[in-house]
Each structure stands twice: as structure tokens, then as C-alpha cells.
Amino acid sequence: MSLEDRDRSMSDCTRCSNCRWLPSIDTEEFAHVCPSIRYGKVFSYSGGGKAIMGYALLHGKIGYDEGMLDAIYACSACGGCQVVCGTFHDDMVEPLEAIYALRERVVQDGQLPASLKALTDNLRSTGNVAGSTDGNRGAWCASLSRTAPERPDMVLLVGDAALDREQWPQLQRLVATLDASGASFTIAGAAEVDCGGLAFEVGDQALARTLAEKVVALVRESGARSILTQDDALFAALRGYYPRMGVTLPVDKVVHVTQWLARHKPPIAAHQGEAVTYHDTCRLGRLGEPYVPWSGWHDAAFAAIRVRQSNVPVLYGNGGVYDEPRALIAATGAEIREMPRIRETSFCCGLGGGGGTFNPEFATMAARDRLTEALSTGAKTLVTSSAECACHLRAVAQRERLPIAVSNLIDYIAPVEG
């Protein structure tokens, strides 16, 4: 939806500031749900602040300046604000949708910050955000000796892990595990393209839609009935961003690897008695909740209170993937020590949505907060489902000399070879 489409909902923000906090606060130290306002400290950095900013921009009451753009993009678009706002106000405001619309307007007005425009320019010219001219997404699986079924149940999309050599061994182990477990799948390999998720998040929805249509074409060509991925950002794009753009996938469902592994229970590593904590990523969690485009209307009760008339579910974040990663960790024998902020109200590490690129200081602050929270549990290791989030959190932990290890979930449960 455009800013014009969000006009009424943006004007309905009451500045209650609930979008800053957990809906139920147990500890003052870990009360924030929004890393953006935790960093910026003034209302414009909150979800509600961005909604009001969008309304003001739409009606010509403000113009662009450096501070405004920092409030818009020192933000990982993690969706925490929307979960809490919905808890108190149903779908009256939907601050995350306002953020998407505001960022789209920024791009349309030619105001996308240079560091983020470099990413979208790279996507247009090379097909990857890094701008690598050696963008062969099939190189990681070229050495695999396997024959795909003629009519596969699933097509495996691996996202930008295909371009990261450090992640290739993990992907290859994953394929071996899937094959050993009898999975019927083909690998997109060299045919895979960027899913458009980051382009959508920073506001370049035209580019995002172009890339999404290419994904639709390759999935249709595969003949698969489901998409399988280990990439949290890709998972969120397919289940959430594509429906928002009106892009329909030619499959019955999108499955995350943790869901498949938890259901089929392959051999995994043993970590008997180890104290670990699990970081719910935004994009496997609340942003991985399936999005259904709005249809319906609002009535006015008592001439003042808006009452929704729609069968479309309000997004509270409950439809994300939370149980399966924990089941896999528990199956290793490890002891899971939960942080105060978990599941749909998990605190974002700050990397996604362009936040880590636009404002590294913001991303470092968010990661430091999350690692401090992890340490408060007494855990020695933080496990997370995203390789990118794990890399970011590990780098901050090492730089800040924090006494906690960080592991990607697929690596943590992988059996020791030999």
C-alpha cells in the first residue's frame, strides 16, 4: 500500500508509545521491543513516530532532511512495533505497513540514502547486493553428486548463502542430510536469483517486484509443489513481502528447513547439558507470519470507535516459526535458557532492513543489547537460525569481548563428521 492508502491508519496513531515496549514488562533492563527508538531515543524513531512522519510527508507538512532519513533507516523494519501496536489497537495503525509505505515514497522521491542506493544499484547491475561480478549462485552445489527427481516435491532456494563461500560447507551438509532423510527436492542452483526482499525493505518496491517475478518463473519451471529454504530473510519475503506486492507463488507452501528437520528427525549432534539460549530472528519469527492482503471495511461504534469488519487475520506475530528450532536444540540434549524477550516479541539484532548498512552504530547497539540479554540467562552459547544474524552477533561479541559463543542453528545441530 502507498502512503495515500495508509492515510487514515497513520492519522489514527494516538502517540501512546506502546510500540516502544513489550506488551508485558518483566524487567526494566529488557523492556524495549523496538531497537530503533532504543537507539534514537526520540519519538520519531518509534513505529508510531514513523507513521506520523509518513502522514506529515503525505500532507506536505514536512520535507526531507538528514535527521528524518536517520529516523526512517536506523531501523531494521523488524516488526516489533506492529506486534505490540496490534496487541493494544488491533489493526488500527499498523506501523510496520506505514514504514514500508514511507520508505517506498522516499525511493520515489529520489531520497534513498547513498549507502542503500548502492545496494539497489548493485542488484540491478549484478543481481546481488554486494555487486560481485562473480555471482554464480550455483557454484556451491556444482561438486555435489546427486540426481534430482523428475518430479520433485520441493525446490531448494538458499538465498545469498550461495555467494558466501564460508556458508558452502553448511549448505552441502544440509543437502546430504535432506538426501539421507529421503527428501524429494531439486536445487535451484545457478538458476536462483535474488528474492527482492532487501529491495522491498528499503523501499524500492519496483525492483523488488521485478526480482520476485523472476523467482516465480524459476519455481514454476522447477515443477515443485513447495519451496524449501534455510534463509530466514528469503522465508519472510516469500510468505510476507510477496503477498504485499500482489505476487503469487505457484506452490502450495513455503517451508523453512527447521520445520522440515524437526518433522523428519535426522541424526543430529549431541550437546548434552550445555546451557544455550535461542535468538528468535525477526524474519523467521514475526515477519515469517503469512500475510493476507486486507479486504473489508471499518464501522464506527458510538460515532467514534473504529470496528473492523474483515475476515483477514490481524498480524500478532504468532504465525512465525518458533517451536521447531527449539525442538531441534532440545533434541541435542542442550538446556535452553530463555531470554526475557522471545518469540513474537524477540528483540532484533539490528542487521536487517538495511539498518546495518545505513547505520552500523545502530546495528551494533541492537546486537550488544541482545547479547547482554543472552548473558543474563547464564547461557554459554547463543544459537540462532540465521547465518547472517549469527555472523553479526558473533562479530559484536568478539569486538566487545563478551563471554558468549554464537552459533548458527544448522551448524549447532550438525553431527560431528568422522
Task: Quick: pLDDT tens for 175-185.
Answer: 998 998 889 99
pLDDT at 89 over 60: yes
Residue pair 362/74 in contact by the 8 Å Cβ criterion:
yes
Residue 294 lies in a domain: no
Residue 328 lies in a domain: no
Q: What is the pTM of this model?
A: 0.96
pLDDT at 170 over 60: yes
Q: Which of 311, 336, 314 is nearest to 323 (CA)?
A: 336
Strand, helix or coil at 334?
A: coil
Residue 219 lies in a domain: yes
| pLDDT of the residue at 417 | 66
32-46, 151-165, 286-300, 335-349: which has the minimum mean pLDDT? 286-300
Find the helix or strand (DSSP H, E) in which 218 lies: helix 205-222
More confident residue, 311 or 232: 232
Backbone φ/ψ region at 342: left (φ over 0), alpha (ψ -120 to 50), beta: beta
Which residue is listed with cell 518469540? 343
| pLDDT of the residue at 316 | 92
CB proximity list for 391: less than 8 A, separation 6 or greater: none
Q: What is the residue-wise DSSP string for 280-317?
A: --TTTTGGGSPP-----EEEEETTTEEEEE-SSPP--S
Residue pair 83/316 in contact by the 8 Å Cβ criterion:
yes
Percent of the chain with pLDDT over 70: 99
232 CB-contact burial (10 Å; exposed 0-12 / middle 13-18 / buried 19+): buried
Residue 260 lies in a domain: yes
Quote the crossing angle between the two packed helices 95-108 and 80-89, to the nearest 10°: 130
Residue pair 81/19 in contact by the 8 Å Cβ criterion:
yes
Residue 162 lies in a domain: yes
Could you list the residue range(s) of the whole structural domain that residue 258 is in?
Answer: 116-264
Confidence of residue 303 (pLDDT cuts 50, 70, 90): low
Residue 393 lies in a domain: no
Residue 341 lies in a domain: no
27-31, 96-100, 115-119, 346-350: which has the minimum mean pLDDT? 27-31
Q: What is the residue-wise DSSP string for 1-38?
A: --TTTTHHHHHT-----GGGB-SS-S-GGG-BS-HHHH
CATH number of the domain enclosing 185 = 3.40.50
Residue 304 lies in a domain: no
Distance CA 198, CA 354 (A): 7
Read off the pLDDT of residues 312-331 as tens digits, 9 standing for 90 and up.
888 899 999 999 999 999 99
Residue pair 20/347 in contact by the 8 Å Cβ criterion:
no
Q: Which of 290, 252, 345 is nearest to 20 (CA)?
A: 345
Distance CA 359, CA 362 (A): 5
Amino acid in position 118: A
Q: How many residues does the chain have?
A: 418
Which residue is listed with cell 525511493? 107
Structural domain count, the chain: 1
